[in-house]
Copies of this chain bind each other. A is one copy, B any other.
Amino acid sequence: MPAAPALGHGRARCTTCMMRNICMAASLEAGEMARLDSVVQGWRSVRQGERLYRAGDPFRSLYAVRAGSFKTVVAPERGKETISGFYMAGDSIGMDGVCKETHNCDAIALEDSVVCVIPFHLLEALCREIKPLQRQLHKMFSAEIVRESRQMMLLGNMSAEQRVAAFLLNVSARYRERGYSATSFVLRMTREDIGSFLGVTLETVSRTLSKFQQEGLLTVQGKTIELLNLDALDAR
């Protein structure tokens, strides 16, 4: 059956969402949050490996990750595709689509995931009424710019070891923000994904992790990581 995208029709309930403090709803008062709720079209489930959207698709909505995680993949006309970001619950994706009203990358679920669908024209309308929401949206745009310029620094200047260390610390910090362990977690992406994101080969990622393990900075077992010495990683 060529099913329509699975959309939840229950109300989004930002007010009870675990992610409300790091999501679009951050800094809104209860009444405002309810109005944001009302423009959220619903939820959409995306199975592992499925695409939430593809490069070239018309842009209509932003998506807030409610559960699960995604990677975004940019594919140039010629040349290899590259992973431009990893996103977990509480992050928003799709902002790259605004400027040409067309998505600029593929968003692929790294595990079975759920997103809130936020039609952009409704969000814009609401931002014209609710100043804190407008400010929050602008901050989210800006934060994405800053995140990317950090990544550019990483890609332009840092050694393979530094890149892997920075990546692990970044993942660690994001788990911590979300209330999970900062030192013990399971990576949802492959070595190839990590390598693509960091601008190195998957072999280099693997070797570097092994080396860090030998040096006692962490333990690796496949996708399971335990960080043993955050400071030493940071000193790379």
Residues in chain A within 8 A of chain B (CB atoms): 74, 76, 79-80, 82, 84, 95-100, 104-105, 124, 127-129, 131, 134-135, 138-146, 148-153, 155-158, 196-199
Compute how far the CA of A140 lies from the CA of B141 in the bound complex, rounded to whole angstroms. Answer: 10
Please give, as numbers and ranges, the residues of chain B lying within 8 Å of A158 by CB-CB distance: 79
**What is the distance, in angstroms, from A78's C-beta to the closest C-beta of chain B?**
9
CB contact between A199 and one of B84, B100, B150, B156 (< 8 Å): that residue: B156
Please give, as numbers and ranges, the residues of chain B lying within 8 Å of A144 by CB-CB distance: 145
Task: Beyond A76-B153, A128-B128, list 12 extra A-B contacts (CB 8 Å).
Answer: A74-B150, A79-B153, A79-B158, A82-B156, A84-B153, A96-B142, A98-B141, A99-B138, A99-B140, A148-B149, A148-B152, A155-B156
Compute how far the CA of A146 lies from the CA of B72 in the bound complex, rounded to whole angstroms. Answer: 12
Q: Is the CB of A152 within 8 A of B153?
A: no
Compute how far the CA of A100 lies from the CA of B150 in the bound complex, rounded to whole angstroms. Answer: 15
**What is the distance, in angstroms, from A93's C-beta to the closest C-beta of chain B?**
11
Q: Is the CB of A142 within 8 A of B84?
A: no
Please give, as numbers and ranges, the residues of chain B lying within 8 Å of A127 by CB-CB distance: 127-128, 134
Please give, as numbers and ranges, the residues of chain B lying within 8 Å of A146 by CB-CB distance: 96, 99-100, 104
Please give, as numbers and ranges, the residues of chain B lying within 8 Å of A104 by CB-CB distance: 146, 149
Compute how far the CA of A153 lies from the CA of B150 in the bound complex, rounded to whole angstroms. Answer: 14
Known contacts A74-B153, A104-B149, A134-B124; A143/B99 CB under 8 A: yes
Please give, as numbers and ranges, the residues of chain B lying within 8 Å of A74 by CB-CB distance: 149-150, 152-153
> What are 13 pairs between A and B in contact, CB < 8 Å?
A76-B153, A84-B152, A98-B139, A98-B142, A99-B143, A104-B146, A124-B138, A128-B134, A141-B145, A145-B148, A155-B156, A156-B196, A156-B197
